[in-house]
Amino acid sequence: MWTVVGEALSGSGRMFLEPLQSVAESLKWEKKKEAEWLGSGQETESVSTWSPNFWRKDLEEKLIQYITAQIPCFGSSTNTDKTVLNQHLSQLEMTFLPSLEHRSGFFKEAGLLVTYTRCCHASLSSHLSTLTDSNHFSFSQCLLVYEWALKMYRSGSETGLGPRQNPQHSPSLGVQCLVWIILKTEEKLLTVARLCSGKALKEAFDIGKPPCADAAVIQILTEKTEAAWRISESLGEKVEAVCLEECLRFLE
């Protein structure tokens, strides 16, 4: 049954509409039977081992696998080139997300849109989280991802991720996905800002090394704050606070 889902994602989609509808009907039947099983007073253990009970979960796992496999490759996780990252984010926005949106119509007709949308969000969130979680990802790279997600959120772009897409089908899914990406990236940004501030201060006062001018330290700290301010006042305030906290901690 799951082969049909993969074919619908990799093919034109229309020719697999009927099989997709069969998958949706099977899931409805599974849900109905599960309710009947629970209502009949059967033990919970018996329900948990009943195979159809896992069909929806299996479908989501398969969808996430198929969708993730179609995400454009970023290359090495050690790549710190901002230009390459910009190109990758552009690919996601201009190619990957529209392809998800195109296929969503078939899943909507089959009655599987909510499940499909949820899996699209899970795949993209996981991908961006993996990128920003890399130890090699710089502050400026995290800032690019943050700015991209914020732009998508503000624009309400009608893509497979957009907050305004298909408002009659849980529009909050798109909003939640984007907010999660923004918050996750912000967390990484603040961590990197703290580490960079600590490193700059340590190098400035490291015995045995040429002294670093105060102006140089201030420049290192303010560059990140100003870069964040250009994107979001709230983010700028948080980055500034983190840098100041690190300075105070260092001077204690």
Model pLDDT, residue 7: 67
Average pLDDT over the chain, rounded to an integer = 76
- In terms of Cβ atoms closer than 10 Å to its own Cβ (0-12, 13-18, 19+), residue 182 is buried
Q: Is the model's pLDDT at 127 over the cut of 50?
A: yes
User: Is the pLDDT at 82 greater than 60, yes or no?
Assistant: yes
* 132/181 Cα distance (integer angstroms): 10
At 31 the pLDDT is 67
Mean pLDDT of 144-171: 63
Please name the residue that has the structure tokens 């580490």.
Answer: 195
What is the model's pLDDT at position 241?
92
Distances (CA, A) of 104 to 13, 19, 165, 251: 9, 15, 10, 55
pLDDT, position 5: 67
Instruction: Give the Cα separation of 75 and 83 in Å (integer).
Output: 13
pLDDT band at 91 (very low <50, low <70, confident <90, very high): very high
Cα 174 to the center of its chain, rounded Å: 11
**Burial state string for 34-52 with b = 16 or more CB within 10 A and e = fewer than 16:** beeeeeeeeeeeeeeeeee
pLDDT value of residue 155:
76
Task: Indicate if the pLDDT at residue 247 is higher than 50.
Answer: yes
Quick one: pLDDT band at residue 19, thresholds 50, 70, 90?
low
CA dist., res. 140 & res. 155, Å (int): 22
d(CA 236, CA 234) in angstroms, rounded, equals 5
Lowest mean pLDDT of 52-61, 147-156, 180-189, name the range: 52-61
Percent of the chain clearing pLDDT 70 (strictly above) = 63
- Which is more confident, 187 or 169? 187
Cα(2)–Cα(59) distance, integer angstroms: 7
Q: Examine the pLDDT at 240 and tell me if it is beyond 60.
A: yes
Q: How far apart are the first and last CA of the chain?
A: 63
pLDDT at site 249: 86
> Sorting pLDDT into bands at 50, 70 and 90, what band is 133?
confident
What is the structure's pLDDT at 148?
Answer: 92
Burial pattern 89-102, b for ≥16 Cβ within 10 A else e, equals beebbeebbeebbe
Determine the Cα–Cα distance for residues 150 and 228; give it in Å rounded to an integer. 12
User: What is the DSSP code (8-state) at residue 110?
Assistant: T
Tell me what the mean pLDDT of segment 50-58 comes to: 63
Residue 76 to residue 137: CA distance in whole angstroms: 11
Of 46-55, 93-102, 119-128, 147-156, where does the model show the most confidence?
119-128
**So what's the pLDDT on residue 167?**
37
